[in-house]
Structure 1
């Protein structure tokens, strides 16, 4: 065992009242960070105003520290807030919020050893030539350790935080309690179906045996793709609370914004990820719904993208798939009546919704469809679409127009779509999404969709003059 154990780490709070106290403190930190004036400005602001939440760096640091200590479902929600904070938070606050993607507090060494012993037995260390006790990543549900077995396999070992699985129900109950009792929801809006779907999804993410099965199924769908890599599972070392996989090299995909990477590389990666998103939906009917940027690594040496973390993988039922096809065809045709039918089929519009609500929701959907209705490459870097949709949606929320709950399963698909679009924006890429989407919607065989053009790019073995570091699998 070559690695020196870390003395850092805080135990995961597990009791419901204890976690509610931490969550309440996080909510208080958020409110205090904005201030009374800021909260009033948020409520009164309309589209066209500066929509960004102005948390001070100190308040943002307190909020992220609190979520990082809690881990679990609450931190997962915080990670979603941090996906592209530049659209919602000030740049200073967004930079700190972004650290939530891989900055959970690691568990103490004593707690780690108890987990490893419970899963592998008291002599677990005899299986390894090298085990790095210092985690290379710690996120919402577990932390990742690098190891090498006696037979020479280089692995990433995802070890689940103790008590996180058991705390999911209480976290969701606490989030529901706070949302209902702190004026966070419009009148008449019942979050119960969505929270229940989130609860089930988080339980699935905490089931590492289920994740191993999803990862294996996804590898089979992807096949021998020249542009993507999915690490293989090692069943002999995997348990319900430990997932053993090939160790993957690369840099987090959002780091392609560095000057070392060319615009052609960024465009190619954004195009590959966008095309993969459509293949997942229309070909695989199996979608990895967690678009956390840390779940995708770019290996500059090979030009391939490494796909990680399949805990949030979901099968797409035919009914939902047909609803998205109907909505997509209507958006491409700019057919408002057909758009209403598609939005109704997916549950975004209820049968008793007032005409004004329907019209404003269709306006929002039409505006959001700009990325697929534009002829030629859509310039994500120059687009103001995300700010506009955020402002329009916030106005509708304030006007109490979100009182109908769509199919909860759409929440996770929307998360994936939004995450890929945010990645394209982060990379300031130009992507022709319309050309990618039309073969799936207009009757052509998906197999006839043109492959991504591999543009000539300079391949380096270092970034910024330094060797590419080993980058962790993110939980």
Structure 2
């Protein structure tokens, strides 16, 4: 008997029947978001008092960071939606935090990669009823009401399909679309801060692009189309595995259940060879996919990946995908090559044409090479190990107020059309540093990025 048959909840109860109305929920979500800076500020004030009364700074610092990290996890975890996705994005970059702060945030933010409060069984059944019809139970031999995993806009249940195939059933949270729109409006309020930090960024266009891409993630039919394309191309691949899609509806997606060691577990406890293998396959997947499928998987947080026993990388989530029918833009490879060859003036010219350097900004080739060359070191040839220390140093170099590179970066612009490519690049670097993976990254780029021809 299906486990869902044993539930004492009414399976056909509308999901909205037991939830507050939208204005009340929106107010609640807004208050929770507002609590983040208020809570952090409050703890900072307490910290000043503790310093005045003689508490050891290092003891207080650890306590404050742990409490702040826990608050961040609890608030973003409760919100699901856009704020939850923000938390997942942040979790990739814990490797860039100073080591004294990294521990508490590492534990709290890593939880966000696969954690969220679960839906009641009645709500799950209501979504299945809408997405698969009144006879949805007949499509499964078994269905587990308890979620096996949870993410920002949905949760995953383990089940057995009618033909005996073990499947993963992704259920979208009822009202996820309205909640996501509400969160994006709330988060957009920090736009003036971005304008202060990056005066040449067209913040409105970037936020509009983010909104469009995040709203695409609500469309499970759109996601199923992308996943089918990836599955077809990688079906016989010896390094990558993409589960097949068995059924798709607006709020329900049924795919093969494929198990492996979660990437978060490899980050925490993996052997050096497992870490290297995970890093190499992840990079190969991201850089080869545009050439092979015309698509770029654009959500590189560890919760979307696992390593199979046979060494293949399992890819689970295709809600965020960039359409690149011509493959990766060749200008990326060409300009990266020119930078590694120290042809600064040509790099400036190319970046200006692509919209990264404003037309009225006077920037020298020496300036742009000073900004770019250190971050490109992993691509210069030979083996390179991504480490948390390297990422912290690069983060400091690119953001510190007294850094020449930071002053250059503040003058640059950012074309919204590169948003998802940038997201994948930075996110992948963050994961590679969490893994502390070693490989010849140059070889991957030479093979799969058009326009890249640096000899090393």
Alignment partner, residue 239 of structure 1 = 249
Q: Is residue 312 of structure 2 the alignment partner of residue 307 of structure 1?
A: no
The partner residue of 1:167 within 179, 197, 212 is 179
Q: Distance in 1 between matches of 2:272 and 2:262?
A: 17
The partner residue of 1:19 within 25, 29, 35 is 29
Q: Is the 8 A contact 2:264 2:302 kept in 1?
A: yes
Aligned residue pair count: 424
The partner residue of 1:271 within 266, 280, 292 is 280
Residues 390 and 361 of structure 1, relative CA distance in 2, 3 Å threshold: farther
* 1:219-250 per-position Cα deviation (integer Å, ceiling 9, x unaligned): 23334101211100013xx2111010001111
Q: Distance in 1 between matches of 2:351 and 2:343?
A: 12
- Backbone CA RMSD of aligned residues: 3.3
Give the C-alpha shift of residue 252 in structure 1.
Answer: 0.9
| Higher RCO, 1 vs 2 (CA within 8 Å, ≥6 residues apart) | 1
**Which has the larger share of helix?**
2
Q: Is residue 395 of structure 2 the alignment partner of residue 390 of structure 1?
A: yes
Alignment partner, residue 263 of structure 2 = 253
Q: Is the 8 A contact 1:157 1:245 kept in 2?
A: yes
Q: Is residue 425 of structure 2 the alignment partner of residue 417 of structure 1?
A: yes
Q: Is the 8 A contact 1:186 1:400 kept in 2?
A: no
364-373 or 199-208: which moved more?
Answer: 364-373
TM-score by length of 2: 0.83
Alignment partner, residue 456 of structure 1 = none
Alignment partner, residue 54 of structure 2 = none
Give the C-alpha shift of residue 173 in structure 1.
Answer: 1.9
Give the C-alpha shift of residue 144 in structure 1.
Answer: 0.5
Give the unaligned 5+ runs of structure 2. Answer: 10-14, 49-60
Q: Distance in 1 between matches of 2:30 and 2:366?
A: 39
> Is the partner of 2:410 in helix, strand or coil?
coil
Q: Distance in 2 between matches of 1:359 and 1:282?
A: 32
Give the C-alpha shift of residue 205 in structure 1.
Answer: 0.8
105-114 or 364-373: which moved more?
Answer: 105-114
Q: Distance in 2 between matches of 1:416 and 1:371?
A: 16
The partner residue of 1:316 within 324, 330, 336 is 324
Q: Is the 8 A contact 1:84 1:94 kept in 2?
A: no
Alignment partner, residue 365 of structure 1 = 372
Q: Distance in 1 between matches of 2:93 and 2:218?
A: 25
Q: Is the 8 A contact 1:296 1:307 kept in 2?
A: yes
Q: Is the 8 A contact 2:156 2:171 kept in 1?
A: yes
The partner residue of 1:429 within 426, 432, 437 is 437
> Is the partner of 1:402 in helix, strand or coil?
helix
Alignment partner, residue 138 of structure 2 = 126
328-337 or 358-367: which moved more?
Answer: 358-367
* 1:273-330 per-position Cα deviation (integer Å, ceiling 9, x unaligned): 2222221244443110100111111112x22221110111112265960221222211
Q: Is the 8 A contact 2:241 2:313 kept in 1?
A: yes
The partner residue of 2:221 within 205, 209, 216 is 209
Q: Is the 8 A contact 1:248 1:306 kept in 2?
A: yes
Q: Distance in 2 between matches of 1:111 and 1:231?
A: 26
Residues 304 and 317 of structure 1, relative CA distance in 2, 3 Å threshold: closer
Alignment partner, residue 289 of structure 2 = 280
Give the C-alpha shift of residue 212 in structure 1.
Answer: 0.3
Residues 329 and 285 of structure 1, relative CA distance in 2, 3 Å threshold: farther
TM-score by length of 1: 0.80
Q: Distance in 2 between matches of 1:363 and 1:36?
A: 41
Alignment partner, residue 162 of structure 2 = 150
> Is the partner of 2:419 in helix, strand or coil?
helix
Q: Distance in 2 between matches of 1:153 and 1:430?
A: 37
Give the C-alpha shift of residue 85 in structure 1.
Answer: 0.8
Q: Is residue 102 of structure 2 the alignment partner of residue 90 of structure 1?
A: yes
